[in-house]
Amino acid sequence: CYLQATEDTRTISVTIEKQQVSVLAERLSSLLEEIASRFDAEVPEEAPDELVDNEPLSVPVEEEFRVGTMGLGWDAESQAVVVELLAVTEGEVDETVVLDDTEEGPDAVRVFLSPPAARAFASRADRVVGAGRKPCPLCGEPLDPAGHICPRQNGYRRDSELTDES
């Protein structure tokens, strides 16, 4: 998957796993609920119609980096949700380097979203993830209509219509 952030005429595209998008949407929704209760911020239940984005990605898509680590926060001063996406790196990431905006450290994108824009992003992310192929409940890889060869089953083919045997 690709995730794009646009400001004025600049667009940044990063590669992100479908599972990461799902987690980001879920955590973003949870954060919005917490913001509404703890900070008494105006957070809509649904994405406002004017912020719903069903447009395709801007092309050409030129990947800046592959996302490894994600962070979420609330900037009370600007009343914005902060989403940080950090590039995959070897070893551990020194968070102080990332937060200080120095030239050291991994590539990163930091986006500030109003609560309504964050709600709209989470809704679109859920739609995009939901429109894809179902993941295998054993290994998480996407299931083809005819199933797939699951590494967790020692190479045996799994059908896409798996039953719960618990």
- pLDDT of 8-23, one tens digit each? 889 999 999 988 999 9
The structural domain count of the chain equals 1
Distance CA 55, CA 75 (A): 28
pLDDT at 96 over 60: no
> Is 151 within a domain?
no
> Is 160 within a domain?
no
Place of tokens 């990063």: 14
> Is 142 within a domain?
no
Q: For residue 11, what pLDDT is reported?
A: 92
Q: For residue 117, what pLDDT is reported?
A: 94
> Is 164 within a domain?
no
> Within 10 A of 40 (CB to CB), how many other CB atoms are there?
8
Domain region containing 7: 2-134
Q: For residue 166, what pLDDT is reported?
A: 43
pTM: 0.72
Distance CA 40, CA 61 (A): 38
> Is 165 within a domain?
no
- pLDDT of 106-143, one tens digit each? 889 999 999 999 999 999 998 888 777 677 777 777 77
pLDDT at 102 over 80: no
> Is 98 within a domain?
yes
* Average pLDDT, integer, range 21-34: 94
What pLDDT band is residue 92 in, cutting at 50, 70 and 90? low
> Which residue type occupies 58?
S
> Is 40 within a domain?
yes
> Is 64 within a domain?
yes
CATH number, domain of 17, equals 3.30.2450
